[in-house]
């Protein structure tokens, strides 16, 4: 029997996505990009593989963890040392062969006066896990469009299980067939002080939450786009529709309220968030820990897929980037929890994780890799599979996607994202993060628009550029058409 708020599949009455594929035979001229409504979740009648939870697969080990935590759930701890001893004992009870040092966690406990109550909150959430989730969440497998729906309480319980070492490891989750991120907090608790502080702060804030808050919903959706024409140059050249608007903004993507917010993702959701990474995706997951839950059940992304997280909140403030990333205190949930819930009970931003090519070098300017990035960005811009449960995000808030350690050219990637968003009928708000390589983006957009160039024309303008000179090349080609 499913409990209220347990994981569920999408059950929308959408039509199968066949119309656009049939149009390939009719030629590319005047083709129309398939819309989000034409992409149906492929879940009906299929058996799902689920994540493995400790109480399901090893009741004896689970009972050992419960024996450690049950007395502590109501205890008032007198010192951070006693809190550490409790958490370390839970890890050993869950099967850890050596008592973990959890150095970063100990540091976080010492710095947060609410840490004893935070750990008690986590203990109570873990103890409730068998009632909250009798089975693990569905795995969001490669090649399928599917959604997992969890309450905030269920998200908290899964993160609490990870905090106490009571989530079966990735080799168990893989079930000899799956390719999943590693969902294990041990490195963070031992060596990543800012993220350990974020976790302690998360559970401290949950300690003050009411049932209405806990019953709100967070969804995780995989969208897999299988229209074959989207990887052909004929389709993009023949895409006869106007370009969407593109506006440049300052600030941070996570503050773009009401917009689809880009997560410059690794192909494995979360990237290095649990292993020392501190760039855009990792920071977002650290300050919004409900995002981390998706790493338990989201397989690696294929070239034609994106993952959407809707309803998570930012619990921690931060400063810095990369090696300078720091926890900067608790967020005021009243400030980030203002919009009304949608039809699924979700209250929070729409985040889309989509991975760029890694180290594409000079090949990124060739048609084949441009087509790959167009498809990936287009799937991201289609939006969450249940976006119609609330107001549609009018624009995607994005920026220099794949242009840091991945080595992409931000001038090329900006124009690719503009074209992809236009094909998906979504505007673009672009956050350059002070990168001077894209300081002429508005000038280029204005030139393209003033020449009446449409989607197909922009695709042709993207071809055959030199490194760092994409904007110059586009402006030159526009001037030659005068």
Tell me which of 12-26, 111-125, 139-153, 407-421 is least confident.
12-26
pLDDT at 389: 96
Query: What's the CA gap between 479 and 198, in Å, rounded?
Result: 51
Query: What's the CA gap between 272 and 77, in Å, rounded?
Result: 33
pLDDT at 32: 53
Share of the chain above pLDDT 90, in %: 83
Given a cut of 90, whether residue 360 has pLDDT beyond it is: yes
Given a cut of 60, whether residue 19 has pLDDT beyond it is: no
Report the catalytic residues.
263, 281-282
The pLDDT tens digits of the residues spanning 456-466 come to: 999 999 999 99
β-strand partners of 220 = 148, 309
Residues 6+ apart with CB under 8 A from 373: 356, 357, 364, 402, 413, 416
Over range 327-356, report the average pLDDT.
92
Q: How confident is the model at residue 48 (pLDDT cuts 50, 70, 90)?
A: confident
The angle subtended at Cα 126 by Cα 54 and Cα 220, nearest 5°, is: 80
Given a cut of 90, whether residue 365 has pLDDT beyond it is: yes
Given a cut of 80, whether residue 44 has pLDDT beyond it is: no
Residues 6+ apart with CB under 8 A from 444: 415, 471, 474, 475
* Angle of helix 193-206 versus helix 152-163 axis, rounded to 10: 140
**Distance set, CA 326 to CA 186, 248, 275, 286, 415 (Å):** 19, 27, 16, 11, 33
Q: How confident is the model at residue 239 (pLDDT cuts 50, 70, 90)?
A: very high
Given a cut of 90, whether residue 25 has pLDDT beyond it is: no
Over range 391-410, report the average pLDDT.
96
Return mean pLDDT, the chain: 90
Given a cut of 80, whether residue 217 has pLDDT beyond it is: yes
The pLDDT tens digits of the residues spanning 272-297 come to: 999 999 999 999 999 999 999 999 99
For 245-271, b where at least 16 C-beta lie within 10 A, e where not — what string? bbebbeebbbebeebbbbbbbbbbbbb
Q: How confident is the model at residue 373 (pLDDT cuts 50, 70, 90)?
A: very high
- Nearest alpha carbon to residue 432 among 244, 246, 250: 250
283, 316 Cβ separation under 8 angstroms = no
For 170-187, b where at least 16 C-beta lie within 10 A, e where not — what string? beebeeeebebbebbbbe
- Cβ atoms within 10 Å of 311's Cβ, excluding its own: 26
């Amino acid at each position: 029997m499913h409990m209220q708020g347990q994981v569920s599949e999408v059950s929308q009455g959408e039509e199968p996505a066949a119309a656009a594929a049939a149009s390939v035979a009719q030629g590319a001229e005047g083709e129309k990009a398939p819309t989000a409504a034409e992409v149906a979740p492929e879940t009906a009648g299929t058996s799902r593989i689920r994540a493995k939870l400790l109480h399901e697969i090893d009741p004896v080990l689970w009972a050992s963890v419960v024996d450690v935590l049950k007395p502590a759930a109501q205890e008032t701890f007198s010192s951070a040392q006693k809190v550490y001893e409790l958490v370390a004992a839970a890890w050993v009870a869950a099967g850890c062969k050596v008592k973990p040092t959890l150095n970063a966690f100990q540091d976080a406990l010492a710095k947060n006066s609410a840490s004893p109550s935070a750990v008690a909150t986590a203990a109570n959430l873990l103890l409730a896990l068998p009632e909250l989730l009798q089975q693990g969440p569905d795995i969001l497998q490669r090649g399928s469009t599917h959604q997992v729906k969890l309450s905030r309480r269920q998200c908290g319980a899964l993160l609490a299980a990870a905090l106490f070492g009571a989530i079966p490891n990735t080799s168990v989750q893989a079930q000899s067939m799956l390719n999943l991120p590693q969902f294990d907090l041990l490195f963070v608790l031992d060596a990543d002080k800012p993220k350990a502080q974020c976790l302690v702060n998360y559970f401290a804030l949950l300690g003050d939450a009411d049932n209405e808050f806990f019953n709100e919903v967070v969804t995780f959706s995989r969208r897999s786009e299988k229209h074959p024409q989207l990887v052909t140059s004929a389709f993009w050249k023949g895409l006869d529709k106007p370009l969407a608007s593109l506006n440049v903004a300052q600030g941070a993507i996570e503050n773009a309220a009401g917009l689809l917010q880009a997560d410059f993702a690794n192909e494995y959701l979360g990237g290095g968030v649990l292993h020392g990474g501190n760039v855009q995706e990792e920071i977002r997951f650290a300050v919004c820990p409900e995002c981390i839950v998706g790493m338990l059940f989201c397989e690696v992304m294929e070239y034609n897929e994106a993952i959407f997280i809707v309803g998570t909140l930012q619990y921690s403030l931060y400063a810095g980037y990369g090696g300078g990333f720091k926890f900067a205190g608790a967020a005021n949930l009243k400030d980030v929890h203002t919009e009304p819930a949608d039809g699924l009970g979700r209250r929070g931003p729409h985040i889309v994780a989509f991975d760029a090519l890694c180290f594409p070098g000079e090949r990124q300017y060739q048609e084949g890799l441009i087509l790959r990035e167009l498809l990936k960005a287009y799937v991201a811009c289609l939006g969450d599979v249940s976006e119609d449960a609330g107001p549609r995000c009018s624009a995607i808030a994005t920026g220099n996607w794949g242009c840091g350690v991945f080595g992409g050219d931000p001038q090329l990637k900006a124009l690719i994202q503009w074209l992809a968003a236009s094909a998906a009928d979504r505007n673009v708000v672009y956050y350059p993060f002070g990168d001077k390589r894209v300081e002429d983006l508005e000038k280029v957009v204005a030139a393209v628009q003033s020449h009446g160039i449409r989607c197909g024309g922009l695709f042709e303008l993207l071809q055959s550029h030199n490194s760092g000179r994409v904007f110059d090349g586009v402006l030159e080609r526009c001037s030659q058409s005068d």
